[in-house]
């Protein structure tokens, strides 16, 4: 049984069905890429996996490490070891990055029946994460995402991921709007966390760019709320050559041929 | 701004002429086109007449002031403040005749020792009901001429000094409770920091009510000599009792040339039916500076009339404020940023919220007098809606009578951001914790300005406690939207 098992997932938002039967399995230590055109349901999947209240699961299940999380509260999913890096990280004025990280770590430890992290241990971990991700130390005393540039926000997401050590992280178009330097930092960060901590990741992206810096083992293509193609990294190259339209036509043709 | 205005609208700022001045020369350089207004028909006109003005002091002795105030007290009814038909603050539910002014010295109430931080201080004076029950002052400061004593004692031992400043700018008869205070006050606080004396630790002024049935008439006079530097922390606290009590305060603080003062107030009257009707005036002298931050965190009915006035050239000030109303509390703040001469600087920044079925109104006025040229000031008020039945109003206004100034105001009305809550939940914080982070973050920019760790911590804890108490209410509001 895989660590994260998504089975026949149907999701609607405001009476509109966005996901129409998604199956996906992700294990710790695996890097998956999820690609698809705009409106295919990529962000819906990301938000649904973390339990965003606006998305209603009408069918199917999300099981993580043997625990059914389909109806769980978002914070319980986080405590279980899931993480979502936001496409548009939210600013939290009045709370420094470091303080927020400490709160989040303690919430997680508290959930596991542990004591709050001690100051020294926290500093050590923070220092390590800072070096790993090549961010400025002053960064951690700024208010979270408040007045951050696009690139800084995405780095802050990866920094949180490094500190919270999830088993599986979902990165929702983390690459969008980044210049090449920021993109490289983010991608290398994910790769390092994968190599060092055995992070499993689902990298959701509209483009191929980020996949030049972090190598997925599995590639999934989502269209109209369904997984239409799955394979290895060669799919990325094919997509680069042919584009979504070509693939869409083939899928339609195949569906027609099989009489679906 | 009312709750119907979601998220934030930077407010355009009409420059409003003074009543009687006609319409042509309101010229705040705030970037907005001048707005033509009819004189005398605006809320501001009423506000203008409500200002403290010259003060009742002058040549009258204390006995004469008390006598005049007593006559006013006997003639006046309990006050009602009305504004524009949709807001009124009425003290008429107070059974004033049933209250007593007790001058028995029965020690420092528990609520004081329980609430106040044990941090280092320059001195502390505690008034319980009508009596000063505790005075302490660092010996080294006393040797340098610092005076901290009851105001009664000041009138005995430092008569000239006390008389010079007493009621310099405070009137005694605008309403019944102001008159009652001026006529009947006992105890009181006098703090004098002589020229050039710099004190790092705060002077603590405490007004405490430990039982119902008390009418406490607080009276504070603080004078900072030229180039002195000091902090004043006032605490207004009460036991959680059942029944009515009154705190009517008249507070005045004057800063002489080049003096600098950080003035903070922690007010939480607890669960009793405490009425607080107070007037506070801070006068900033030549090149002096005051940072003033009231944290108004509780009381059955609280009416605060606050004026921060730059009285002489080069004066500068930061007027901050935090408020949090809960349950059935009623809070009415009128805060004035007054510039009597220029060049002068001002910066007003308040933040507040309300839970339960409470009502909170913040009315902020920038007033620039004729001749106060080269005044630069800004007023901002931010509120956050947390509860379906609470109401917060924020009404900024500007009265400008000089033409070489900049004066403007702005503000926001915020609600809990569900996206921010979800964001924090995905990091493992539960919903209540996420709400707390947002609200604390909302207040944090001002709390941090207290620059006193113990006091900051006290304010943070009190806000956290109020949020926890209102948790169900906040949840209901969030999910109803």
CATH code where residue A181 lies: 3.40.50.300
Most A CBs within 10 A among B322, B419, B427, B460, hence the mutation to make, goes to B427
Rounded to the nearest angstrom, the minimum Cα separation between A188 and chain B is 22
Mean pLDDT, residues A5-22 taken together: 95
- The interface predicted TM-score of the complex, written ipTM, equals 0.95
Rounded to the nearest angstrom, the minimum Cα separation between A96 and chain B is 9
Q: Which of B418, B426, B444 is closest, CB to CB, to A78?
A: B426
Cβ distance of A107 and B437 shorter than 8 Å: no
Name which of A26-30, A208-212, B163-167, B440-444 the model is least confident about.
A208-212
pLDDT class of B1 with cuts at 50, 70, 90: very low
Higher pLDDT, B28 or A220: A220
Rounded to the nearest angstrom, the minimum Cα separation between B434 and chain A is 10
Longest Cα separation, chain B: 67
Percent of chain B with pLDDT over 90: 78
Owning domain of residue A238: 4-257
Does B118 contact chain A (CB < 8 Å)?
no
Q: Which of A51, A74, A93 is closest, CB to CB, to B441?
A: A93
Of these ranges, A81-90, A170-179, B30-39, the one predicted with the greatest mean pLDDT is A81-90
Cβ distance of A75 and B428 shorter than 8 Å: yes
pLDDT of residue A131: 87
pLDDT of residue A212: 87
Does A73 contact chain B (CB < 8 Å)?
yes
Cβ distance of B428 and A50 shorter than 8 Å: no
pLDDT of residue B38: 40
The three-point CA angle B393-B395-B398 to 5° equals 175
Considering chain A, what is the average pLDDT of its residues? Answer: 92
Rounded to the nearest angstrom, the minimum Cα separation between B30 and chain A is 25
Cβ distance of B420 and A90 shorter than 8 Å: yes
pLDDT class of B85 with cuts at 50, 70, 90: low
Percent of chain A with pLDDT over 70: 99
Does A95 contact chain B (CB < 8 Å)?
yes
Cβ distance of B426 and A77 shorter than 8 Å: yes
pLDDT of residue B12: 36
Whether B13 has a pLDDT exceeding 80, the answer reads no
pLDDT of residue B388: 85
Q: In what order do the strands lie in the sheet with B260-268?
A: B131-137, B123-128, B198-209, B229-238, B260-268, B289-296, B316-325, B344-354, B375-385, B406-415
pLDDT of B246-295, one tens digit each?
A: 999 999 999 999 999 999 999 999 999 999 999 999 999 999 999 999 99
> A192: which 2 tokens?
């390092």
Mean pLDDT, residues A83-90 taken together: 95
Cβ distance of B426 and A83 shorter than 8 Å: yes
A-chain residue closest to B423, CA distance: A90
Does A52 contact chain B (CB < 8 Å)?
yes
Q: Which residues of A touch B420 (CB under 8 A)?
A: 90-92
Cβ distance of A73 and B443 shorter than 8 Å: no
Does this model's pTM top 0.90? My answer is no
- DSSP-derived secondary structure for A191-258: HHHHHHH--EEEEEESSSGGGGTS--SEEEEEETTEEEEEESTHHHHHHHHHHHHHHHHHHHHHHHHT
pLDDT of residue A185: 85
Name which of B30-44, B83-97, B191-205, B346-360 the model is least confident about.
B30-44
> B137: which 2 tokens?
């002052």
Q: Which residues of A touch B442 (CB under 8 A)?
A: 93-94
Whether B22 has a pLDDT exceeding 60, the answer reads no
Does A111 contact chain B (CB < 8 Å)?
yes
Whether B39 has a pLDDT exceeding 60, the answer reads no
Most B CBs within 10 A among A107, A114, A142, A171, hence the mutation to make, goes to A107
pLDDT of B143-153, one tens digit each?
A: 999 999 999 99
Name which of A5-9, B105-109, B306-310, B328-332 the model is least confident about.
B105-109
Does B419 contact chain A (CB < 8 Å)?
yes
Rounded to the nearest angstrom, the minimum Cα separation between B475 and chain A is 14
Cβ distance of B443 and A94 shorter than 8 Å: yes
Whether B15 has a pLDDT exceeding 60, the answer reads no
Q: Which of A74, A94, A108 is closest, CB to CB, to B422?
A: A74
Total domains present in chain A: 1
Does B431 contact chain A (CB < 8 Å)?
yes
pLDDT of residue B476: 77
Q: Which of A51, A53, A94 is closest, CB to CB, to B441?
A: A94
Rounded to the nearest angstrom, the minimum Cα separation between A8 and chain B is 23
Does A84 contact chain B (CB < 8 Å)?
yes
> A64: which 2 tokens?
């993580």
């Amino acid at each position: 049984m895989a660590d994260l098992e998504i089975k026949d997932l149907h999701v609607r938002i405001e009476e509109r069905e966005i996901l129409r039967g998604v199956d996906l399995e992700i294990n710790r230590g695996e890097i998956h890429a999820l690609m698809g055109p705009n409106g295919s349901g990529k962000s819906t999947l990301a938000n649904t996996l973390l339990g965003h209240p606006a998305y209603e699961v009408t069918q199917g299940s999300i099981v993580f490490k043997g625990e059914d999380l389909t109806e769980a509260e978002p914070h319980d999913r986080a405590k279980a070891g899931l993480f979502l890096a936001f496409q548009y990280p939210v600013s939290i004025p009045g709370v420094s990055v470091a303080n927020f990280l400490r709160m989040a770590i303690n919430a997680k430890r508290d959930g596991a029946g542990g004591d709050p992290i001690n100051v020294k241990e926290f500093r050590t971990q923070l220092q390590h994460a800072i070096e790993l991700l090549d961010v400025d130390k002053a960064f951690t005393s700024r208010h979270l995402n408040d007045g951050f540039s696009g690139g800084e926000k995405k780095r802050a997401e990866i920094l949180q991921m490094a500190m919270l050590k999830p088993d599986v992280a979902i990165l929702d178009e983390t690459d969008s709007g980044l210049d090449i330097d920021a993109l490289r930092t983010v991608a290398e960060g994910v790769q390092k966390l994968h190599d060092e901590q055995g992070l499993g990741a689902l990298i959701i992206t509209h483009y191929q760019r980020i996949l030049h810096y972090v190598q997925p083992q599995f590639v999934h293509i989502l269209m109209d709320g369904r997984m239409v193609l799955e394979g290895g990294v060669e799919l990325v190259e094919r997509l680069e050559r042919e584009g979504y339209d070509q693939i869409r036509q083939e899928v339609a043709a195949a569906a027609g041929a099989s009489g679906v | 701004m009312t709750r119907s205005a979601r998220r934030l609208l930077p407010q355009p700022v009409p420059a409003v002429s003074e009543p009687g001045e006609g319409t042509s020369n309101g010229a705040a350089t705030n970037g907005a086109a001048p707005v033509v207004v009819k004189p005398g028909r605006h809320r501001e006109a009423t506000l203008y007449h409500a200002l403290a003005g010259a003060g009742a002091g002058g040549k009258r002795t204390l006995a004469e002031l008390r006598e005049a105030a007593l006559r006013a007290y006997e003639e006046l009814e309990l006050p009602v403040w009305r504004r524009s038909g949709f807001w009124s603050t009425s003290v008429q539910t107070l059974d004033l005749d049933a209250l007593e002014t007790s001058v028995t010295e029965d020690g420092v109430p528990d609520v004081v020792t329980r609430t106040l931080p044990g941090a280092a201080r320059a001195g502390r004076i505690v008034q319980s009901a009508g009596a000063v029950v505790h005075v302490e002052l660092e010996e080294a400061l006393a040797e340098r001429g610092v005076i901290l004593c009851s105001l009664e004692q000041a009138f005995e031992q430092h008569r000239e000094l006390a008389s010079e400043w007493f009621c310099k700018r405070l009137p005694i008869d605008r309403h019944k409770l102001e008159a009652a205070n001026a006529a009947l006050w006992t105890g009181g606080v006098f703090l004098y920091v002589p020229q050039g004396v710099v004190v790092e630790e705060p002077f603590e002024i405490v007004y405490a009510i430990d039982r119902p049935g008390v009418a406490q008439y607080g009276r504070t006079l603080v004078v900072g000599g030229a180039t002195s530097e000091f902090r004043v922390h006032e605490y207004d606290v009460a036991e959680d009792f059942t029944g009515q009590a009154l705190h009517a305060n008249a507070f005045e603080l004057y800063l002489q040339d080049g003096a600098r003062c950080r003035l903070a107030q922690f007010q939480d009257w607890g669960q009793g039916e405490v009425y607080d009707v107070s007037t506070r005036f801070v006068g900033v002298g030549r090149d002096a500076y005051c940072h003033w931050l009231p944290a108004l965190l509780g009381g059955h009915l609280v009416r605060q009339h606050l004026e921060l006035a730059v009285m002489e050239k080069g004066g500068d000030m930061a007027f901050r404020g935090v408020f949090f109303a809960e349950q059935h509390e009623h809070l009415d703040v009128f805060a004035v940023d007054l510039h009597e001469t220029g060049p002068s600087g001002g910066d007003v920044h308040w933040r507040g919220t309300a839970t339960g079925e409470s009502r909170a109104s913040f009315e902020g006025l920038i007033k620039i007098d004729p001749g106060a040229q080269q005044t630069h000031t800004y007023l901002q008020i931010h509120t956050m809606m947390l509860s379906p039945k609470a109401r917060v109003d924020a009404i900024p206004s500007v009265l400008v009578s000089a033409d070489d100034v900049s004066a403007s105001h702005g503000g926001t009305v915020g609600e809990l951001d569900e996206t921010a809550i979800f964001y924090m939940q995905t990091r493992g914080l539960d919903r209540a914790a996420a709400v707390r982070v947002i609200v604390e973050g909302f207040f944090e920019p001002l709390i941090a300005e207290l620059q006193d760790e113990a006091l900051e911590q006290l304010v943070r804890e009190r806000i956290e406690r109020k949020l926890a108490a209102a948790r169900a209410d906040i949840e209901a509001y969030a999910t109803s939207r």
